[in-house]
Structure 1
Amino acid sequence: MPDGVDGGEVARTFDEFFRTFESYRAVNDARLADIESRGSADVISLEKLNRLDAALDATQRRLDDLTLKSRRPQIRAREPRQLTSAALEHKAAFEAYVRSGQEQILRPLETKALSAGSDPDGGYLVPEETEAGIMRRLSQVSPIRAIAGNRQVSSSTYKKPFAVSGPQSGWVGETDARPQTTSPQLAELTFPAMELYAMPAATSSLLDDAAVDMDQWIAEEVETAFAEQEGSAFINGDGTNKPVGFLQVPRVAEASWAWGSLGTVSTGAAGAFPASNPADTLIDLIYSAKSGYRQNGRFVMNRKTQSEIRKLKDGDGNYLWQPPAGTEGAATLLNFPITEAEDMPDIAADAPAIAFGDFRRGYLVVDRMGVRLLRDPYSAKPYVLFYTTKRVGGGVQDFDAIKLLMFSA
């Protein structure tokens, strides 16, 4: 386990989460009993339930942070001898540029490699090891990236063909004439890579400290900024200088679904679950997806929506929401995992607050290879800014793989 992460602390936090959930269930059961017997819930019970709900969220966030830290590799585990001589030379030259601004060694190395990032005005490409660390961290903290498909490209746009109509086929006898078949009709999905940037700042004492691993520092500093921007764009991005989010795709009722739109299921109540049998709408949502997509299906919602889901029971009195089975697991709803994405809308009238489907097949994240860094010691003296950019795109690649639950009448 990495430095600073106590395995016992993870276990204690996980136990605390389960104890809090048991208390939550007991209070919620009492609330439901009050509604059945008196027609309304006790105010004290509602306040206690809200406090426990907030405690569950706080404990879950702390558990997520500890689990993420436990996955990070130790600095000592990275052995320089595992790198090639060229990679070591680039790494040393890049560190000299980051710490002191010396680019005399780095510039010819990138020019020799015919690098598109060798222009000092646009910054220099970070070493491959640093780029891999940034991408690995993003895959852990960016919720949609963690569950979506991914492609790395060297160009500015990724184009993916798909068949509008498959080739004609049929059954024939062994000696029957074979009629001529029509050719498949192909169309193309385009995923342009847009520029995403972060600008961490460093003090001179940090840059002078030889014990600080600058590769790891850069990866840690840009991780949160990149993840927040990606998380918003992959859900709500409008395609203008950012990826197209899946909630920006046209939506139609599942009965009228056609390629190019996402199918929706309605709860039948504006801004709420139906008063009776609320689980039925979730089951309808699950089975609106074809069996091939349900096998790897998962729910996507924000934390506030999940707090409402926690209160729901099935006809036998069992809670639909269940806590994770282990520290590395995810909470489940009707036995399907839940991904928390804070950029999903809250439950409101006509809001698509819950998504379900196979996001690895349904949504594609496109990364252009290379992360660039430009050192700026002038704009924010006495701090040194590091303008770090990467290019990323995204969009729906299979419109039948993702379904939305609309809180509408």
Structure 2
Amino acid sequence: MPGGADPTGEVKAALTRFASDIKSFNDDIHIRLQQQEERLTMLDRKSLTPARPVLSRSADADAPHQKAFEAYVRSGDDDALRGIVVEEKSLSTAVAGDGGYLVDPKTADVIRSVLRSNASLRAIANVVNVEATSYDVLIDHGDLGSGWATETDPSSETSTPTFERITIPLHELSALPKASQRLLDDAAFNIENWLAARIADKFARAEAAAFVAGDGVDKPTGFLTHPNVAEDSWSWGNIGYVVTGADGGFNGTDPADCLFDLIYALDAEYRTGASFVMNSKTAGAVRKLKDADGRFLWSDGLAAEAPARLAGYPVLIVEDMPDIASDACAIAFGDFQAGYTVAERPDTRILRDPFSAKPHVLFYATKRVGGDVSDFAAIKLLKFAVS
């Protein structure tokens, strides 16, 4: 070749330089990736490290109050509860002074759960939480005027609405369970569950009785406390009733007819959400009734917790309802979600008293609750009488 150049040697030299450049490029890329990975790892550590305590606190938000409450209940040591009050004023997790300390959220949930599941009017009534000392219900009795009109005819004025105000005051409900100090000192004894069960049982029984027949004096007003009148002469402020046609029992000729009279005494707007309310003895008599074709009017719930049904409507067993007797209004039927309102403060307070019943420790538990009829048209009664 011209100039004596060796093409094979030039190609080999070029390939050697190219391979060296590729190796340098790969080494540079590897170093850059390694440096980038180290920087990302450091950033992850910095971002995750402060987050861990926050997640721990959020997952265990109620633990400080629960532990402090347990210490107070077992030994009367309220230092931790006072500390929570000082440090978390805006949360109001515990309040000292007037009536003791708020129970911890876990115990409060157990009490509320038992109250809801207990055989009480609360199960089907309208339940509202309030922060005041009373709760007002406004009922509009007026009927908005309407009519047909042409494009040019003037519209007539409608009548002024008439409102009925029902005030439901809140009353203090209390329970006073007691335990020996030796039992409280036993670490194996679950003080929260025991206390919640005892308080809830007392509260549930007292509430159930008051919602049915309470006189309104330092307790809720029961729906049976209001005057009852024959359905034909019903007026606001009274509870209407229909009769069975027999004194202290069902009519021997057509015993089931009075139940249908009771159902259709209620306006259609209330029947959709209506329920029967009676005690166990009355239920035992009612479930024997049959229709004209010989079929039982009573049917048990298909699911374990489903209510029994009477003529297609659910039945709530409330033992505080009166037994079947002469002139007794032993069965109620109505839309209690509209007809009866339970107003309550959501908190329960505990005051520990180690002095009044030595060697036992008393726990004075209180909550505020009220109840009354909120719509007199939504509830009807079956009276076991001739007229």
TM-score tier (shorter): 0.7 to 0.9
User: How big is the shift at 1:233?
Assistant: 0.2
Mapped to 1, the partners of 2:375 and 2:153 lie a distance apart of 38
Match of 1:227 among 190, 204, 223: 204
| Bigger mean CA deviation after superposition, 344-353 or 107-116 | 107-116
User: How big is the shift at 1:212?
Assistant: 4.0
| Bigger mean CA deviation after superposition, 153-162 or 212-221 | 212-221
User: How big is the shift at 1:174?
Assistant: 2.1
Mapped to 1, the partners of 2:269 and 2:291 lie a distance apart of 25
Could you say if the C-alpha distance between residues 146 and 381 of structure 1 is closer, same or farther in structure 2, counting changes exceeding 3 Å? same
Match of 1:113 among 79, 89, 96: 89
Mapped to 1, the partners of 2:174 and 2:162 lie a distance apart of 39
Question: Which amino acid is the alignment partner of residue 359 of structure 1?
Answer: F
| Bigger mean CA deviation after superposition, 324-333 or 139-148 | 324-333
Map Cα deviations across residues 24-60 of structure 1 (whole Å, 9 max, x no partner): xxxxxxxxxxxxxxxxxxxxxxxxxxxxxxxxxxxxx
Aligned twin of 1:331? 308
Contact 1:121 1:374 in 2 (8 A): no
Contact 1:168 1:183 in 2 (8 A): no
Mapped to 2, the partners of 1:365 and 1:295 lie a distance apart of 21
User: How big is the shift at 1:178?
Assistant: 2.6
Aligned twin of 2:62? 87
Map Cα deviations across residues 89-109 of structure 1 (whole Å, 9 max, x no partner): 222221111111011221343
Is residue 137 from structure 1 mapped to residue 101 from structure 2 by the alignment?
Answer: no
Mapped to 1, the partners of 2:295 and 2:60 lie a distance apart of 60
Q: How does 1:247-266 map to 2 (within 5 A)?
A: 247-266=224-243
Contact 2:84 2:94 in 1 (8 A): no
User: How big is the shift at 1:333?
Assistant: 1.5
Mapped to 2, the partners of 1:93 and 1:386 lie a distance apart of 16
Kindly, what percent of the aligned residue pairs are identical? 48
Please, what TM-score do these two structures have when normalized by structure 2?
0.80
User: Secondary structure at 1:216's aligned position in 2?
Assistant: helix
User: Secondary structure at 1:246's aligned position in 2?
Assistant: coil
User: How big is the shift at 1:85?
Assistant: 6.1
Question: Which amino acid is the alignment partner of residue 326 of structure 1?
Answer: A
Q: How does 1:222-371 map to 2 (within 5 A)?
A: 222-371=199-348
Mapped to 1, the partners of 2:59 and 2:307 lie a distance apart of 39
Question: Which amino acid is the alignment partner of residue 337 of structure 1?
Answer: P
Aligned twin of 2:150? 173
Mapped to 1, the partners of 2:93 and 2:166 lie a distance apart of 26
User: Secondary structure at 1:353's aligned position in 2?
Assistant: strand
User: 5+ unaligned residues in a row in structure 1: which ranges?
Assistant: 1-79
Is residue 203 from structure 1 mapped to residue 163 from structure 2 by the alignment?
Answer: no
Please, what TM-score do these two structures have when normalized by structure 1?
0.76
User: How big is the shift at 1:84?
Assistant: 6.4
Q: How does 1:16-165 map to 2 (within 5 A)?
A: 87-110=62-85, 113=89, 118-120=95-97, 122-165=99-142
Could you say if the C-alpha distance between residues 208 and 116 of structure 1 is closer, same or farther in structure 2, counting changes exceeding 3 Å? closer
User: How big is the shift at 1:270?
Assistant: 1.1
Question: Which amino acid is the alignment partner of residue 91 of structure 1?
Answer: Q
Could you say if the C-alpha distance between residues 327 and 81 of structure 1 is closer, same or farther in structure 2, counting changes exceeding 3 Å? farther
Mapped to 1, the partners of 2:296 and 2:247 lie a distance apart of 23
Match of 1:372 among 349, 367, 382: 349
Could you say if the C-alpha distance between residues 142 and 82 of structure 1 is closer, same or farther in structure 2, counting changes exceeding 3 Å? farther
User: How big is the shift at 1:307?
Assistant: 1.4
Mapped to 2, the partners of 1:190 and 1:278 lie a distance apart of 39
Contact 2:81 2:94 in 1 (8 A): no
Larger Rg: 2
User: How big is the shift at 1:86?
Assistant: 5.7
Contact 2:340 2:374 in 1 (8 A): yes
Mapped to 2, the partners of 1:198 and 1:388 lie a distance apart of 5
User: Secondary structure at 1:197's aligned position in 2?
Assistant: strand
Question: Which amino acid is the alignment partner of residue 262 of structure 1?
Answer: I
User: Secondary structure at 1:120's aligned position in 2?
Assistant: coil
Q: Displaced runs of 4+ in structure 1, greater than 6 A?
A: none
User: Secondary structure at 2:136's aligned position in 1?
Assistant: strand
Map Cα deviations across residues 205-246 of structure 1 (whole Å, 9 max, x no partner): 432233444332221111211111111100000000000000
Contact 1:120 1:374 in 2 (8 A): no
User: How big is the shift at 1:83?
Assistant: 5.6
User: Secondary structure at 2:62's aligned position in 1?
Assistant: helix
Mapped to 2, the partners of 1:174 and 1:267 lie a distance apart of 54
Contact 2:119 2:316 in 1 (8 A): no
Mapped to 2, the partners of 1:402 and 1:320 lie a distance apart of 21
Mapped to 2, the partners of 1:265 and 1:255 lie a distance apart of 9
User: How big is the shift at 1:182?
Assistant: 3.7
Aligned twin of 2:17? none
Count of residue pairs the alignment pairs up: 330
User: 5+ unaligned residues in a row in structure 2: which ranges?
Assistant: 1-54
Aligned twin of 2:29? none
User: How big is the shift at 1:385?
Assistant: 1.1
Contact 1:142 1:230 in 2 (8 A): no
Question: Which amino acid is the alignment partner of residue 95 of structure 1?
Answer: E
Question: Which amino acid is the alignment partner of residue 93 of structure 1?
Answer: A
